[in-house]
Structure 1
């Protein structure tokens, strides 16, 4: 994505990230992000891939947004937990049968 002061602020707020949180993710001082959003300092093009990743936007059709990634991870976690419970139920049933 082509980042400028307006798109950076808009997408950052939509992602519910503070300037400080975004700066920490990027490894820069929060005033750097502040200066980008004020238009005092231009956003270096070398930062674009990191901004795309952190803020979950990309022109790449194979790119998975942060939101989608979090949904998939949550679904996998829930599935893993369900598998553990089912395994426990099956194993306790097998153990109960072997005692008889």
Structure 2
């Protein structure tokens, strides 16, 4: 990833784009920008990895909650949906979430 924040380098940036045509310009919303001159270059793979990281975590935690609810329903434990939702939220906690569900 190449980050350039100096407006006087615009000619060099154009030359860089000609020499390295595979570079993609990607805007990163999470980047703290002090002025509007930031340019972020990244390859598509790292962009997609960044974009899919959080939805994948949410999907994994929701799946853990659903499996917990399904197991509680199979064993006849009361209120399996309630415990599945609680389990999904607990699995979001780093370090203690998943082991707590195993107990």
TM over 0.5: no
Q: Determine which structure has the larger helix proportion and give its number.
A: 1
In which range does the TM-score fall when normalised by the shorter chain? Answer: 0.3 to 0.5
Query: TM-score if structure 2 supplies the norm length?
Result: 0.39
Which structure shows the bigger proportion of residues in strand conformation? 2
